[in-house]
DNA sequence: GTACAGTGGTGAATCGTTCCAGACCGTACT
DNA sequence: AGTACGGTCTGGAACGATTCACCACTGTAC
């Protein structure tokens, strides 16, 4: 392997390795003349710093780990873009892990991040990983929770108000006159799911009741949504809901497929609203109403919190940034189905 | 920082550091008794190996770098999932970079990967990075090209037959009687775009001609697609195409929005076909015809090629796996618009 | 009684950086 | 002249794992 190291560079430039290191790290202690000799040598040898050695010496890497629930969900890739953008501006990079809502995979990635001594970690947890996160912090890797707050007063967090979002959805469904509502969600172990459901229940009770049928799917994919939709269609007509609130847009799109496939009209027979307002919600077969979350802004905020903690140490008190969700109405819950133009 | 190292473990277990290392690496030279003493000590101290030190000594990491054109495009996340799956089975992990079709970002990520001494690299290149890739290989990081083949006989590659795919699309449009076709693509610097266009032209000529209007957008996003669609709508009626082939589904969905927004009927006024068959193509406003590529399988194949080269060294001759695309017909090119049910 | 093989374990060298105490030099101040 | 000082640069000690030559011991064969 023809790998030039810093010593080779030093030899060619006729300086010490310390000086080369100073050039690499832009320390001000190098005269322009020697600096250019060094950079020439670097160029000539095709030298690229070995990050492992640097990390070993410094004790930490310049990469940040991020663990998301599902890379196939555009919401998370949008958050990740916000994160990446902010990190890049601070000369840091991102290594992205996908837990796929699986606690074991999550643990495997945490092992990886810990072995890599990432300089910080952004995570939307699946399992009960609080002790692991504490340990990571003890090791010097601050942790910021993304879209997960509850019971984590000792971590900074960025999230959106899921209870409010759930309430917005149900208020809207009630507002268009629906009375038999259903909630299609993922595992209740996932906090967002729980909160969105709670918000929905609260709104429902405030409006004077009505049943809320809850369908809990093992994952929050479009495939799961289709299954959930079929399940609801199997109900006796009288029990069949006239409005469905899905815990995310992927589920909602799956439900929509099941409904239209069975020949039902959305929203006339059943109204449907999702969550996240992913890009594809607006362009789906029946443009989908949804609860919008500012994904990229959340990513940026999370990255900024993390960088602050990496660079300045633990804050006096942990911060919890809460974004407000927003109702976006499209055809799938539009009362009057005459104007069927996508927004 | 309370970070136990291998020496602390050795001291607690009353063995040498070499023995601890043997336990960590599952070398067979350790008796069950000492092994359990060591694992107990590891447990007690919460020891986690420092990967930087390991890498430094071994000269290479166990992570693989992957560079994609656009993380927001579901096609690429599907490929990435296939890759990740295969890597995980070989106890390797993935660090994902997003060039966002930007040559500068691509170079930045290549720097990062090179500094990290990734054990291998999967890349869908944007700019002219052949020399960089050669250098990476010289450094001991094999490179496999994903979805990019041409002129790279000295790298293994996995791709789909883009010329064939382009031909399939145009043959289909001609088959449903369209005569004024347009191609909406990204920069011709991107090889897939060029090949899909070439395939389209070939098919068109074979069928006896007709014009093919080419719209070249700077990126291949849905936003760009919308702009392209508006551009085509500005044409004098006589010049307006009656069929559009978009170089990917994101573009196609954007075009679709522009068309339906202006009140035109798809496919009656203008037929539309995309490329990739991403999940959301089937559930879009007008279900979108597309050219399907086996994304996950491509990812798996690429990862396997790469792992083979990492573990066994350069192959006798580089392999080029070529997947065949497949035409998927949905409403956006359906001749008879009566049965408007999504498939 | 010696040679030999095999097993389980040791300890020091090594990987390529960063960091720091100090050397060296010329200039400014007392 | 002597001292102080800032600016450059040097050389060597870390960082924490892996690896490898070697050692100690046991049992077995001759």
The per-residue pLDDT for range B40-60, each reduced to its tens digit, is 999 999 999 999 999 999 988
- pLDDT confidence tier of residue A151, bands split at 50, 70 and 90: low
Domain count, chain B: 3
Residue whose token pair is 């038999």: A180
Mind listing the pLDDT tens digit for each residue in B327-340?
A: 999 999 986 544 44
- pLDDT confidence tier of residue B154, bands split at 50, 70 and 90: confident
Q: Is residue A198 domain-shared with residue A312, that is, in the same domain?
A: no
Q: A105: distance to nearest CA of chain B, Å?
A: 10
pLDDT at A341: 41
Contact flag B98-A114 (C-beta cutoff 8 Å): no
pLDDT at residue A282 above 80?
yes
pLDDT at residue A234 above 70?
yes
**Residues of B with Cβ-Cβ distance to A284 under 8 angstroms:** 280, 283-285
Q: How far is CA A161 from the centre of its chain?
A: 14
Mind listing the pLDDT tens digit for each residue in A114-141?
A: 999 999 999 998 888 988 999 999 888 9
Which residues 172-191 on chain A approach chain B with CB closer than 8 angstroms?
A: none
Q: Pairing state of beta strands B290-292 and B326-328?
A: antiparallel
Whether residue A239 is contained in a domain is answered as yes
Closest nucleotide to the alpha carbon of A22, via C1'? C18
pLDDT at B139: 87
- pLDDT confidence tier of residue A224, bands split at 50, 70 and 90: very high
Task: DSSP letter for A141, please.
Answer: -
Whether residue A341 is contained in a domain is answered as no
Distance between CA atoms of residues B263 and B269, nearest Å: 10
Interface with B, mutate which of A51, A114, A260 (most B CBs under 10 A): A51
pLDDT at residue A342 above 80?
no
Whether residue A339 is contained in a domain is answered as no
- B111/A contact by beta carbon, under 8 A: yes
- A83/B contact by beta carbon, under 8 A: no
CA of A17 to C1' of D20 (A): 29
DSSP for B36-61? HHHHHHHHHHT----HHHHHHHHSS-
* B205-210, Cβ contacts within 8 angstroms, sequence gap of 24 or more: B207/B170, B207/B171, B207/B174, B210/B174, B210/B179, B210/B180, B210/B181
Beta pairing partners, B289: B273
Whether residue A14 is contained in a domain is answered as yes
Whether residue B338 is contained in a domain is answered as no
DSSP for B154-173? TSEEEEE-HHHHHHHHHHHH
Check whether residue B57 has its CB closer than 7 Å to nucleic acid strand D. Answer: yes
- Give the SS3 label for residue A1: coil
- A93/B contact by beta carbon, under 8 A: yes
Contact flag B51-A285 (C-beta cutoff 8 Å): no
Q: Which of residues 57-96 of B touch strand C (CB under 7 A)?
A: 57, 59
pLDDT at B194: 94
pLDDT at B127: 84
Give percent of chain B above pLDDT 70: 96
Mind listing the pLDDT tens digit for each residue in B278-313?
A: 989 988 888 899 999 999 999 999 999 999 999 888
pLDDT at residue A310 above 50?
yes
Q: Is residue A180 domain-shared with residue A220, that is, in the same domain?
A: yes
Mean pLDDT score, B25-33:
84
Mean pLDDT score, A48-75:
92
pLDDT at B150: 62
Whether residue B339 is contained in a domain is answered as no
Whether residue A107 is contained in a domain is answered as yes
**Tokens representing residue A65 in the block:** 């780990």
Helix H or strand E segment including B202: helix B191-206
Check whether residue A18 has its CB closer than 7 Å to nucleic acid strand D. Answer: yes
pLDDT at residue A206 above 90?
yes
Q: Is residue A29 domain-shared with residue A130, that is, in the same domain?
A: no
Alpha carbon distances (Å) from B130 to A127, B134, B135, B278? 43, 6, 9, 29
Beta pairing partners, B328: B290
Helix H or strand E segment including A213: strand A212-216
pLDDT at A337: 46
Provide the sign of the torsion angle of the four alpha carbons B58, B59, B61, B62, taken in this order.
Answer: negative
Residue B109, domain extent: 63-160+294-324
pLDDT at B331: 92
> Cβ atoms within 10 A of the Cβ of B198, count?
14
Contact flag A139-B48 (C-beta cutoff 8 Å): yes
Q: Is residue B80 domain-shared with residue B92, that is, in the same domain?
A: yes
D13 C1': nearest CA residue: A57
Whether residue B17 is contained in a domain is answered as yes
Task: DSSP letter for A232, please.
Answer: H
Beta pairing partners, A321: A158
- pLDDT confidence tier of residue A261, bands split at 50, 70 and 90: confident
Strands (E), chain B: 63-68, 93-98, 120-123, 143-146, 156-160, 181-185, 212-216, 243-246, 271-273, 290-292, 320-323, 326-328
For chain B, how many residues are written? 343
Contact flag B138-A285 (C-beta cutoff 8 Å): no
- B296/A contact by beta carbon, under 8 A: no
Q: Is residue A77 domain-shared with residue A116, that is, in the same domain?
A: yes
Q: Is residue B279 domain-shared with residue B186, that is, in the same domain?
A: yes
Helices A103-116 and B51-58, packing angle to 10 deg: 70
Interface with A, mutate which of B5, B6, B57, B71 (most A CBs under 10 A): B71
Q: Is residue A205 domain-shared with residue A257, that is, in the same domain?
A: yes
Q: Is residue B97 domain-shared with residue B49, that is, in the same domain?
A: no
Residue A54's closest chain B neighbor by CA? B52
pLDDT at residue A77 above 90?
yes
Distance between CA atoms of residues A86 and A307, nearest Å: 9
- A53/B contact by beta carbon, under 8 A: yes
Alpha carbon distances (Å) from A53 to A115, A223, B50, B112, B230? 15, 45, 11, 14, 53
- Interface A:B, Cβ pairs < 8 A: 136
Distance between CA atoms of residues B98 and B131, nearest Å: 20
Q: Is residue A183 domain-shared with residue A280, that is, in the same domain?
A: yes
Q: Any idea what the CATH number is for the domain that residue B136 is in?
A: 3.40.50.2300
- pLDDT confidence tier of residue A304, bands split at 50, 70 and 90: very high
Interface with B, mutate which of A69, A115, A290 (most B CBs under 10 A): A115
Closest nucleotide to the alpha carbon of A29, via C1'? D8
Q: Is residue A174 domain-shared with residue A284, that is, in the same domain?
A: yes
Q: Is residue A298 domain-shared with residue A156, that is, in the same domain?
A: yes
- A104/B contact by beta carbon, under 8 A: no
- B332/A contact by beta carbon, under 8 A: no
pLDDT at B343: 41
A288, A317 Cβ separation under 8 angstroms: no
Q: Is residue A99 domain-shared with residue A47, that is, in the same domain?
A: no
**Residues of A with Cβ-Cβ distance to B1 under 8 angstroms:** 59, 138-140
Distance between CA atoms of residues A252 and A331, nearest Å: 13
- B137/A contact by beta carbon, under 8 A: no
Q: What is the mean pLDDT of chain B?
A: 91
Q: Any idea what the CATH number is for the domain that residue A48 is in?
A: 1.10.260.40
Instruction: Please give the backbone phi and psi of residue B317, each rounded to the nearest 5 degrees, phi first.
Output: -140, 145
Helix H or strand E segment including A244: strand A243-246
């Amino acid at each position: 392997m023809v790998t030039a190291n810093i010593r080779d560079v030093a030899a060619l430039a006729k300086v010490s390795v310390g000086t080369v290191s100073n050039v690499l790290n832009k320390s001000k202690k190098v005269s322009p003349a020697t600096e250019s000799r060094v950079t020439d040598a670097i160029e000539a040898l095709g030298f690229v710093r070995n990050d492992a050695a640097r990390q070993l010496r410094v004790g930490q890497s310049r990469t940040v780990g991020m663990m998301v629930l599902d890379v196939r969900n555009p919401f998370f890739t949008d958050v990740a873009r916000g994160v990446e953008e902010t990190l890049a501006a601070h000369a840091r990079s991102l290594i992205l892990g996908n837990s796929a809502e699986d606690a074991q995979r999550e643990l495997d990635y945490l092992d990886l991040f810990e072995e890599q001594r990432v300089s910080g970690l952004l995570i939307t947890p699946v399992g009960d990983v609080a002790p692991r996160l504490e340990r990571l912090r003890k090791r010097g890797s601050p942790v910021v929770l993304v879209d997960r707050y509850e019971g984590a007063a000792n971590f900074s967090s960025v999230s959106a108000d899921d209870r409010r979002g759930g309430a917005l959805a149900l208020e809207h469904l009630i507002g268009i006159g629906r009375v038999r509502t259903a909630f299609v969600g993922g595992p209740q172990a996932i906090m967002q799911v729980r909160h969105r459901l709670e918000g929905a229940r609260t709104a429902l009770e405030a409006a004077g009741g009505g049943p809320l049928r809850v369908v809990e799917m093992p994952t929050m994919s479009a495939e799961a949504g289709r299954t959930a939709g079929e399940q609801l269609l199997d109900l006796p007509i009288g029990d069949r809901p006239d409005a469905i609130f899905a815990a995310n847009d992927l589920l909602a799109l799956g439900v929509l497929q099941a409904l239209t496939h069975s020949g039902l009209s959305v929203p006339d027979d059943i109204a449907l609203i999702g969550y996240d307002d992913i890009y594809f919600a607006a362009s789906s077969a029946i443009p989908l109403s949804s609860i919008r979350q500012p994904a990229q802004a959340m990513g940026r905020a999370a990255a900024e919190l993390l960088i602050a903690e990496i660079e300045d140490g633990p804050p006096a008190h942990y911060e919890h940034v809460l974004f407000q969700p927003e109702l976006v109405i499209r055809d799938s819950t539009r009362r009057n189905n005459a104007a069927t133009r996508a927004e």
